[in-house]
Structure formats: C-alpha cells, structure tokens
Amino acid sequence: MSAMSDAIEQFINEMFDESGGVELKRNELAQYFGCAPSQINYVLTTRFSLDRGYVITSKRGGGGHITIVRLSVPEGDLLHQLAAGGIGESLSMQRARAITARLEEEKLLSRREAAMMLAACEDTQMVPSSMRDYLRANTMRSMIVAILKQRAAEQK
C-alpha cells in the first residue's frame, strides 16, 4: 500500500500550479491508479494534512471535486506558531512525523535536525502510555523553542 500511496502523492504534487492549488476528482484519480476511492482518501488525509501545510476542501454532487491548497508560511512564522500553542497539550507520533516533515519541507529544519526531533519523540518503554502524547508535545515544543533561540542568537 505504501508504494501506491507514494505514487498517488507524487502525482498530486506534480499537479500543483503556480497558485499552490490543485483540483481533482477522487473517482477519476482512483480509476487512473486502479485503486479504491478510499485509497485516495487515505493519501489525502495522511499526506496532505493541515500539519503538513495543506488545506483540503471537497464538494459533493455534480461529479464532485476536491481542492487542495498548499499554504505558504513566511519563514519563522510556522516555528513561532508551533511554539506558541500550535502543537497543543498532546501530540501523537503520527502528527509529530507530519510536523517535522513540514518543517523540513519549509527548510526550517535540516534533515539531521528532523531526524533528531523524531528520535526524541519516539515512544519509550520507560514512560507510561498514558503520558506519552503529553511528553511528546512538551519535547517537541522545547526543541522548537531551542531552535528559535539559536536562530535569534545567530542573527545578533
């Protein structure tokens, strides 16, 4: 399923125009790839989420269509937004991956920094499962604040 999802994601990414948007029909895309429409839904919800910098709107009836818009965030604003509460009180590992992927895509993190963030957010055996998402959110927020402080020091 991953190879199919990767192919669908790449296809959609190649469709984006200069305005940062794309319109598509779920059923037509499913026919093109020879898969169920639910596979298209899976790709849209996991690869084109708000955490990854996309907004999806869908219209039903008359054949229906889906519009995907890529949000552009001025450098630094995304980091500030996440540090100021955009992460929330708890953070799943899936969402942590999406956030780091977006930060890397926006060139706000290097590949190495993103890998270290994900390693720090991984589930560990020493933490009770009831506290994992809470601790992951605090860890991610602390790392983002540290990056912001470092960048501010470098600009002085």
Three-state SS letters, the chain: CHHHHHHHHHHHHHHCCCCCEEEECHHHHHHHHCCCHHHHHHHHHHHCCHHHCEEEEEECCCCCEEEEEECCCCCCHHHHHHHHHHCCCCCCHHHHHHHHHHHHHCCCCCHHHHHHHHHHHCCCCCCCHHHHHHHHHHHHHHHHHHHHHHHHHHHC
pLDDT band of residue 73 (cuts 50, 70, 90) is: low
What was the pLDDT predicted at 62? 58
Fold of 77-155: 1.10.1200
Q: Which fold has domain 2-70?
A: Phenylalanyl-tRNA Synthetase; Chain B, domain 1 (3.30.56)
- pLDDT > 70 in the chain, percent: 83
Residue 150 pLDDT level (bands cut at 50, 70, 90): confident
More confident site: 37 or 77: 37
CA atoms within 13 Å, Cβ hemisphere of 18: 0
**pLDDT above 90 coverage of the chain, percent:** 14
Q: Where are the domains of the chain?
A: 2-70, 77-155
For residue range 93-112, what is the model confidence (pLDDT) as tens digits? 988 998 899 888 888 889 99
